[in-house]
A and B are shown apart, each in its own frame.
Chain A
Amino acid sequence: MNEAEFRDQLVTVLPRLRRFARGLAGNATQADDLVQSACERALSRQQQFQEGTRFDSWMFRIVQTIWIDQLRARAVRKEDGSEIDEERYGNDEPVRQVEARLALAEIRQAMSRLPEEQRVVLMLVTVEGYSYREAAEIADVPLGTVMSRLARARAALAVLLDQGRGLPGSHDNATARR
């Protein structure tokens, strides 16, 4: 793969990298910073990409590695997720989208409350559609770990969603949790 092909591949995978990063970081600015760091690292280590392997997997791995590194370095913690919500609710969207947006915000918030390592595999498998084996390679963990993290992540989501939905006045409850 020459330089131009490499950059083409990079551009093609950008939207998915942004989606993945948004899932990890929560807010758009932090997510795009993460994508930028990953792209810069990829460009500086082009020669490390192995021909015949999947370029997107390689990029996702870089994104998640940098994200975990950043978490460790900055000890980023999101106890209440208020910062994220501000951004998610700050957009002026048409009224018809508000309902869908509330549901979306709820599920995103539920996802943001998951432990980092669960969120990574959830994003990789459920959102990005990677197989367990691919996700294990990207996240650099054993296959069995992917399975257990996925199961726990989804079980936790199911519980959080139940809390936010099934009860009367569920939206008020959801608001209170913020």
Chain B
Amino acid sequence: MQQQDDRRDLDERLVAFLDGEADEAEQAAIIALQETDPAIRTRLERLAQATELARGAFDDVLDEPVPAHLLALGRAPAEAEPASSSAIILPFRRRKPKPKQPGKAWRLGRLKDSPLAGIATIAAMCVLTIGLTVSIFGNHIPYQPVDPDMPMATDMGSRQVASANAVAPDTGLGSAGWMDTVAGYHNLFISSARGAENTVFDVTPHTENALPGDVRVPNLGVWGLEFQGARRIVLDGKPAFQFFYRPDQMADRQAGTTPATDSAGGITHTSAQPPAAKPPAGNKPVGSKTAAGKAALPVTLFVTTGEQSFDRPERPPTFQHRDNVNLTYWRHRGHGYALVGQADKGWMFSVANDIAYQTGAH
């Protein structure tokens, strides 16, 4: 019994040593002990191994997107007074009341006429990674490669998985799991916008000064995109912002009068490409109607903040296909960036380069 107590006592001392809880005298004592007694040294190594294994055993949970119902708890309830909260409720667009039609037809009809129609259609195309299912259009919408000039996007995705994992540590966003996370956050935004009257943002176009000093909201007006707001999120355990951009009002007005047919399933929606939203000359031409239409789809931009170390190498925009979204990520001046959307690769690249230029221009 005495021996057992001694053993337990020794384990406590060794564990406290490993945890950095031993004072200087005790540290010196442990170091001396394990140098003179091989059994103690072995014991210390074994406990250290157990500690290391346990330490990372649940880290993959940090890479998972936080479920929407939990994130929702962090937002002020809709009935709260906006004036008393930093989270201001920003309506996407006032929706005209529509005569009620029965069943699916009503939902389709309503969505078709809603300014959110484009978003709703994308939502139906999304492979949602966060447990949300969008079935408003049934399952007859096949997945389409987002870039008609590229090989099948699925092939492209699988081919790039290895390289993505190889380069991920350089992004400052930790393991490659962050890509799934940002894709998930993007898809979550798209899907939660379906039929939603309001989206609550932590930062709105009127409260941009609430952002950290070194974080700017890029102006994407030239791309036909309007900044809607930003939400605080956590990426790989680090604070980050997710910026939301949607086709600007001019795009919507244009779209309202010239509805386009979505190539993905014959669904009529309102994402026609207005002249203002055309990528500037010099970019890869977008030859097809699909690509042109995709250009006016919402995008989200992720920016990590609060990094103490700026010594990670800069990384130029790099392309990835993930979870039915196109993802362009880069590192610049201590921030990791990821632009996520469903427009084609060339367009996404151009926007990413523009953002990189804008954020480096000050």
User: What is the chain B residue whose CB lies nearest that of A104?
Assistant: B57
A151 within 8 A of partner (CB): yes
A32–B54 contact, CB under 8 A? Answer: no
Interface centre among B21, B59, B73, B87 (most CB of A within 10 A): B73
- Residues of B contacting A111 with CB < 8 Å? 54, 57
Q: Please tell me if the beta carbons of B54 and A127 are within 8 angstroms of each other in the complex.
A: yes
A151 touches B57 (CB 8 A): no
Q: Indicate if B101 sits at the interface (CB-CB under 8 A).
A: no
- Judging by beta carbons under 8 Å apart, are A147 and B47 in contact? no
Known interface pairs A3-B80, A161-B49; A11-B55 also in contact (CB < 8 Å): no
With A7-B76, A151-B15 already in contact, the answer to whether A108 and B46 are too (CB < 8 A) is no
Q: Which of A7, A15, A43, A148 lies in contact with B66, CB distance below 8 A?
A: A15
A5: which B residues are within 8 A, CB to CB?
86
For the complex, what is the distance from the CA of A107 to the CA of B55, rounded to whole Å?
A: 10
Mark contacts of A11-48 with chain B using CB atoms, 8 A cut-off: 1 yes-contact digit, 0 otherwise: 11011101110110000000010011001100100000
Residues in B with CB closer than 8 Å to A14 are: 66, 70-71, 74, 234
Among A11, A35, A154, contact of B232 (Cβ-Cβ < 8 Å): A11
Are B57's CB and A152's CB within 8 A? no
Q: Nearest residue in A to B57 (C-beta to C-beta)?
A: A107
With contacts A15-B237, A18-B64, A127-B58 known, is A158 near B47, CB below 8 A? yes
Bound Cα distance from A154 to B70, whole angstroms:
32
| Further contacts, 4 of them, CB under 8 A, given A35-B70, A147-B15, A155-B11 | A14-B234, A36-B69, A151-B12, A158-B50
Q: Which of A11, A20, A23, A148 contacts B8 (CB 8 A)?
A: A148
Q: Does B62 contact A (CB under 8 A)?
A: yes
User: Are B161 and A94 in contact (CB-based, < 8 A)?
Assistant: yes
28 of the cross-chain contacts (CB-CB < 8 Å) are: A3-B84, A8-B86, A12-B232, A15-B64, A18-B61, A18-B64, A18-B66, A18-B70, A19-B59, A20-B58, A23-B57, A103-B53, A122-B54, A123-B58, A126-B55, A127-B55, A132-B21, A147-B12, A151-B11, A151-B14, A152-B8, A154-B47, A154-B50, A155-B50, A157-B54, A158-B46, A158-B49, A161-B49
Interface string of A139-155 (1 = CB under 8 A from B): 00000000110111011
Partner of B73 from A36, A132, A157, A161 at Cβ < 8 Å? A36
A12–B38 Cα gap in the complex (Å)? 45
Q: How far is the CA of A35 from the CA of B67 in the complex (A)?
A: 11
Contact present for A10 and B16 (CB under 8 Å)? no
